[in-house]
A and B are shown apart, each in its own frame.
Chain A
Amino acid sequence: MKLLKVRTLIALFSVLLMAGIFPASAGAYSYGNANTEAVAETFKLIVSKLNADSPDWTAAKAAYAETRSEIDSHFGKDVTKELDDAFAAQDKDRVLKDWKGVLVLNLDRRFTYAEQGFENYSDTKLLLAKARATYEALKPYLSGTPAEGKLTELDQAFDKALEALGNPGLLGVGKKDPNPEAFKQNIKLIYDTIAPLFPMAGAAAGGGATLDPTASPAAHAPMAETNKTNASVTIGAIAVVVLLAALLFWRMRRRKA
C-alpha cells in the first residue's frame, strides 16, 4: 500500500516534471520565434537607448558588440568599420543612418537566400519571416519618405510572397502549389521600394545593392544562426527523468524479490 503510494507519487511527479521542464528548458532556443530577427532586435535596442535626451552610449555599444561578428561575417568588413567609426565618434544620426543601412543589407540577405532555396519550404518561410521582422523595424522610418503611402501595399506584398510559397497542407488538406514567379515579384517590389531610402552614411559597402542572388557576399549558410541552446539544462532534465524511471524500475524489482 505504502509502496504503491510512493510509486504513484513518483509517477505523478515525473509526468509533471516532463510537462513542466521541457518547455522551460526550451527557453534556451531563440530560433523558433519567427517574430524576432537578431539584427532587427539589436537595432530596436540601439534606437531605444540613443533616443533619450542623454543617449546611453554604453548600452548601445554593448548591443552593437553582441551582433558585430554576425554583421562582419555577413556584410563584410567595410560595414563594421563604418559602424565602429560611427560609434567611436558617438554621432547618433550617423549610427542610426548606418544601422538602417544594415537592416536593408539584412533584408537583401534574407530575400536572397529565400529565393535561392525556394524549394525548401520551411527554410524559405523562416527567411521570409525574418525579412518581415527586419521590415517591421524599418517601418516607423518610412514616414516622411516616398514609401509612406505604400505601407499597406508593402504589407500585402509580404502576405502575397508568403502565399506564393504554397503549402504542403495538413494531412493533404489545404495543399497549395508554390509560385516562384509571384514570390520573386513581391520580394523585388518590397526591396526596390525600401532599399534606396536608407543608404549607409559611409556609402562604403552595400549601399544601393540590388537584389541579386549571385552577388551575395556572405560565406555563411543561410540558416547559420547563433545557437544559444543551453545543452546543460536539457541534459539535466533528461537525466532527472531517467533517474526517476530507474528509481521506479528498481522499486518494482525490489518489490518482486
Chain B
Amino acid sequence: MNGAKAESARAESAKAERAKAESAKSERLGAAAVLTLVLAYAAFGVFHLSPWAASWDEVDFTLALDRFDLLAMQPHAPGYPYFILGGRLMRLLSGDPVLALGGWNLLLASSSAWPIYRIARRWIPPVSASLAAAIVLTLPMNWTLSVRPMSEGAALALLWWFLWSLVRLAERRSNGRWLAAAFLFGLLMGTRLSYVPFGIGLLIAGIVEARDLRRTVTQRVLRLTGWAASAAAFQFFWVGAVAAAEGGFAETLRLFAGFGEGHFTEWGGGVSQAGLPFGERIWRFAADNWLWTGTFARFVPLAVITGALLIWTAWGWRQRWAVSNRPNASSLRRLTASPAFILAVCVLAYALWALLGQNIAKPRHAAPLAALSMFALAACALRLRIGRSRSAAIVLAVLLAALQAAEGARLVSLQQHERPAVYQLADALAKDSESSAILYTWEEERVLRYLNVPIQTQPIFTYEYFLANAAAERGSRILLTGSVWDEFRRQADVPAAKVRLLAVYRSDSRLDPVYGTIALYEWKG
C-alpha cells in the first residue's frame, strides 16, 4: 500500500520534472524567437531609415537637435525632451539629424519586442507570445513610424514598456513596481504627452491599493502619498528640464498654453475641426484611422485575413464559454483588478481622447489602438485550446504575420525611396525660380523653409489679407499652394480663372495624409 503510494508520488514528481524541463525549453525557444525578431527588425530598419523631414512636426524635431527652442517651435510644446535627447545621443552615430531621430525610434521600437512578449506570456505560451510580438511590430503603419523622425515611434515603444510595468504592478503592488511604472510613465510623457490617458492605469492601481483592507488606513495613506509624490516627481523632472531650457517655468507654461490653444483650435485646419459632424467623425476615426489605414494600411488581403482570424477566434471562444462556467460576481470582481482589465481601460481612455481631442486628419494618432487591438486579437486567438480550432488559429496568425511583414517591409521601403510631395515642390521651386517670386503656403511653409527654397515663402490664412499683400507685391510672380487656394475658395467666392494650375506633386497619402498631394498655382489676379 505504502509502496504503491510512494511509487505514484515518484511518477508524479518525474512527470512534474519532465513538464518543468519541457516548459524551460519552450521558454528558451520563445526568448530566442523574440531575440531573432529584435535583431531582424533592427537590421532591416537600419537600412531603411526615412531620410525625409517632410511634415511640420518632423521639421520641428529635426531642428531641435541643433537648437532646442520651444518659442521657435523647435520642437513645439510640450518639448518632447526625452525624444530630443535620444536623437542627440544617436547623433553620435549619424551626423544627419533626421536619421538620428529615426535611429532612436528604431532602437526603442526593436527593444519593445521584449515587453510585448512578456505581457503576452501572461496568457499564451512562449512561442505564441513571440508570434504576437511579431504581429504587433510588423503592423505596417506603425513600422513606418519606427523609422521616421516622429516621436510616435519612440512613444509606442515606451508605451509597451510602461504597459508591462503596469501589468507587473497589477500583479503585485510593491513599492518597487510602482516606482518602475511611474518612472516609465515619466519617460513616456517626456516623449509624447498625448499618450497621457494611459496614465489611468496608474490611477487604477492606486485606487485598488486604497481599497486594500489588508493594510491599516495609515499605512495606505502613507504608501499612496509616497506613490503620488514619486509619480509627480518623475513628471516634474522633464517639465523642469524643458523649463530650464526655455529660461523659466512661468514662460514655459504660458507657451504650453498658447500652443495648446493653437493646436486644438486651428492646427491643420481642413477636416480636423468642428465642420465634421460627430457621427462622421466617429466613423472616420474607427473605420479609417484605426482599422483601414491604421491597422491594414489600406491593403485588402490584410483586412481579409485579420477578419478571418477574428471570426475564427470569436467562434472558438463561444465554444469555450459554452463549456466553461458562466461568469459570476466573484469572477467579475477578480477581473476588475486583473492586468487585462487595466489594459482595456487604458485603451478605452486613449481611444476616447484620440477621438475627441486629436486631429482626425492624421491616422498616426490611432497607432496605439492599432497596436493594442492587434495584440489583443493575437492573444485571444493563440489562447484557444480546443485542438483543431487552435491549429487553425495558429496557421492564420502565422499567415497574418507573414503577410503583414511583407506589406510592412514594402511600405517602409517605399517611405525611404519615394520623394515626398513637399520635397518635389521644393525641387521645382529651386529649379525654376525668379528671385522675385513669392509662394503663399500653409503648413508646407515649415518644410520649405527648412529645405531653404530660394524664393520667399509666406504662410497665409485669410483671402482678404492675401489680396492686400498681392496688391503691394504687384511686381512679383505670386504662387499659391493647393491648400491655400482651397481655403480661399471656402472663404470667398473666387472665380477659378484667377489662377493657373502649374503642377501637382504626389506621394503616398498613407505616409503623408495631409500633404501627400500638393498642387501649385500661379495667381493671375
Contacts and interface: CB of A to CB of B under 8 A. Distances in A.
Contacts of A120: 247
Contact of B473 (A34, A122, A140, A176): A140
A216 B233 CA distance: 44
B196 A174 contact: no
Contacts of A125: 69, 71-72, 247
Contacts of B490: none
B245 A169 contact: yes
A151 B464 CA distance: 24
A129 interface: yes
Interface in B242-264: 242, 244-248, 251-252, 254-264
B207 interface: yes
A255 B212 CA distance: 12
B247 A122 contact: yes
Interface stretch (A25-33, A66-74, A77-85, A195-203): A25-33
The size class of the interface chain B forms with chain A is 35 or more
The size class of the interface chain A forms with chain B is 35 or more
Interface stretch (B8-16, B80-88, B304-312, B509-517): B80-88
A7 B241 CA distance: 35
A169 B68 contact: yes
A49 B264 CA distance: 27
Given A32-B257, A252-B211, A8 B71 contact: no
A33 B473 contact: no
Nearest to B469: A140
B254 A170 contact: no
A1 interface: yes
Nearest to A175: B245
Interface in B204-223: 204, 207, 210-211
A12 B198 CA distance: 10
Interface stretch (B119-127, B349-357, B411-419): B349-357
Given A12-B345, A129-B71, A31 B258 contact: yes
A217 interface: no
A170 B464 contact: no
Contacts of B323: none
Interface in A103-135: 120-123, 125-126, 129
Contacts of A169: 68, 245
A11 B203 contact: yes
B67 A16 contact: no
Interface in B456-476: 456, 458, 462, 464-465, 467-469, 471-473, 475-476
Nearest to B349: A12
A251 B84 CA distance: 43
A48 B210 CA distance: 60
Contacts of A250: none
Contacts of B88: 170, 173-174
B244 A51 contact: no
Contact of B468 (A24, A32, A48): A48
Contacts of A26: 256-258, 260-261
B85 A173 contact: yes
Contacts of B254: 29, 31-32
A142 B254 CA distance: 33
A31 B260 CA distance: 12
Given A29-B254, A32-B256, A7 B207 contact: yes
Contacts of A126: 71, 251
A104 to B, nearest CB: 16
A210 interface: no
Nearest to B472: A140
A8 B206 CA distance: 12
22 contacts: A4-B336, A7-B207, A15-B200, A22-B260, A23-B260, A26-B261, A30-B258, A33-B259, A51-B471, A120-B247, A122-B71, A125-B71, A126-B71, A136-B458, A139-B456, A141-B472, A167-B67, A169-B68, A169-B245, A170-B85, A170-B88, A170-B241
- Listed from nearest, the 6 A-B pairs whose CB atoms lie closest are A32-B258, A122-B247, A48-B464, A26-B257, A23-B260, A51-B468
Interface of B: 66-69, 71-73, 77, 81, 84-85, 88, 196-197, 199-200, 203-204, 207, 210-211, 241-242, 244-248, 251-252, 254-265, 329, 332-333, 336, 345, 348-349, 352-353, 356-357, 436, 456, 458, 462, 464-465, 467-469, 471-473, 475-476
Given A1-B332, A32-B256, A169-B68, 19 more contacts: A8-B207, A12-B345, A15-B349, A16-B349, A19-B196, A24-B260, A26-B261, A47-B468, A48-B468, A52-B467, A122-B248, A129-B72, A139-B458, A148-B436, A170-B88, A171-B244, A174-B67, A176-B67, A252-B210
